[in-house]
A and B are shown apart, each in its own frame.
Chain A
Amino acid sequence: MSDEVLLRATDVVKSFPIRGGKLGTKKVATAVNGVSLDIFKGETLGIVGESGCGKSTLARCLVQLMPVTSGTVSFKGEVLTGRSRRQLRDTRRDMQLVFQDPYASLNPRRTVGDIVADPMRINKMGTDAVINARVADLFKTVGLDPSYVQRYPHEFSGGQRQRVGIARALSLNPSLVVADEPVSALDVSVQAQVLNLMSDLQDEFGLTYLFIAHDLGVVRHVSDRVGVMYLGQLVELADADALYDEPLHPYTNALLSAVPQLNDGTEVPRERIVLSGDVPDPADRPSGCPFNPRCPSATDQCRTEVPVLLEIRPKRFVACHHPLTF
């Protein structure tokens, strides 16, 4: 990990118009609400949050799969937001995605060899022979037998399919790989294989990862830094160890305490904080801090004033009027 910023997001907002409400009134659901962050070259930035917190939408906005409503995203110093598809083409090659569902994200009618080769063919990366040799290389890299290239996705298990998805993402030598819940559809034993593979690849190719997941253990395991999202906002961002050992935002604290622990003597037991209620509707956001209706330490200030993400200690960002102290 270096100090070189690979991707910078400034005040990114993404909202969707939704149907409903009274005659003629248009409502807006704000999925991402003013997120600013930097991704440094060579690091793994983990984004964690519960379903509906906007983490996947944020990822799609960052790699320009979705236009942002406002805010800017720049990659390697160049502003991406507002550019046309054509202008984005070269940058797209440099940012690749790995998706959650290895069953749905691979075209069932194409062989896995073609799936991995297609991005290279589209980008005219060489003759068929060159591309085929590279496919075989990539298969070895991700731990698949190169003789499998002629097989179809349904002939593989979930873990193997995710390896195919990773090989495809690597085929264009990207500098940034965005992985959206890459292991949540896999069994634990297979999940560990894929996580280990991803970390080996990072070392080998100097990749930068944006790793989106809801599993706090997985995120801690892979990430150098972790951002916590709640209702479209980044509520805390810090080095992984610092964040997990000393959460400053009450939501981070509740989230960590909710994870069932194995109690096998290796972990310090955490006191369980059970939050009441559900995450609010993104179309009907509470005023002030998004977390205030469920926060055990909310005050009047929290109900009126939106807290901003501040660096309250070196490399520790938190958006809270009353951060926890340790």
Chain B
Amino acid sequence: MLLFIVRRLISAFLVMFSISVVVFLIFFATPGVNPAARIAGRSASPEVLAHVAAEFGLNRPLPIRYGLMMWHLLFQQDLTSYVNIGVKVIPQITGAAPITLSLIVGAAVLWLLAGVAGGLVAAANRGKWIDPLIMFGGIAAVSIPAYWLGEVVNLVTQNKFHSLFSWLPAPGYVSITQSPWQWALHLIFPWITLATLYAGVYARVLRAELVNALNEDYVRTARAKGLSERRILVKHALRCSLVAIVSLFGLDFGSLVGGAALLTEVVFGLNGIGMLTYNSLLNLDLPVIMGCVMYGAFFIVLASAVVDVLYAFLDPRVRSVH
């Protein structure tokens, strides 16, 4: 177990290091990027530019610049934006992260419930009308663009049928510490929107896994034991199919928390990590980009480590290898 953790930590460090280097290099290799000009303003004189470059260490060799940036980001934690002078990066991220986390965790609960239920019902009713219906619903849900669904939801709840949804507050975010009820109320439709997209995929993947599992020899054994179809489906087939769902979930959850829910955030006016990353990219604001990327990479690495631990928990064969 110790070996496992150490290995994981080393690989996490390597992943984050290489991502940060790549981002850093891409940034400086991008034509037209001159951080000094960004900081100093459009019409700054060459003297001012040189002064700014010296002050921010931008005239030093690349490896040193990289080292300085990471030092300020991770250890001093006082890295500041190139665009909004004096605004520190870390507080921006810690301010945006809870919003994204709230959105993703809530949506994840919904899509897991809906996806697993859909997959189970479809697999249990193979060959009946409900199976293709659920599978069609799944593919339809996957195909809907997030912003479109979000806009339609907004249109319906905030505009066309606002009288029906009068209980619903205007788009935005309220912290859970402030008011759990308002928090949930603000997020309920973002949750549903995001969950719809993912529930379809999960239902389809789970159905395929279940159908495979139901053809396995151990299911035949379970039937020969005289178990009910329901018990076979849940206790044997579903239990053995969870590994696939868990690995899918780990990837999705990691990337969403890392900022991949941008469209949903934009539509519902949530100032989460996705928005922060997007804005910093528009402004070519390297320190913020770097901060967001490191934060996102951290969650992806963390999620894959959790998935590995869950594997061992779900499958005793994996356990005995570690």
Contact = CB atoms under 8 A, between A and B. Distances in A.
B2 interface: yes
B19 to A, nearest CB: 29
Nearest to B3: A23
Nearest to A24: B3
A19 B321 contact: yes
Contacts, number: 4
A326 B291 CA distance: 83
Interface residues of A, number: 3
Interface string A263-288: 00000000000000000000000000
Contacts of B321: 19-20
Interface string B16-44: 00000000000000000000000000000
A34 B27 CA distance: 61
Contacts of A20: 321
Contacts of A23: 2-3
Nearest to B2: A23
A225 B306 CA distance: 57
A163 to B, nearest CB: 31
Interface in A169-211: none
A23 B321 CA distance: 12
A295 B321 CA distance: 32
Interface string B90-116: 000000000000000000000000000
A19 B3 CA distance: 13
Interface string A19-37: 1100100000000000000
A244 B25 CA distance: 74
Contacts of B2: 23
B250 to A, nearest CB: 24
B10 to A, nearest CB: 15
Nearest to B320: A20
A190 B2 CA distance: 54
Q: Which 4 A-B pairs have the closest CB atoms?
A: A23-B3, A19-B321, A23-B2, A20-B321
Interface of B: 2-3, 321
4 contacts: A19-B321, A20-B321, A23-B2, A23-B3
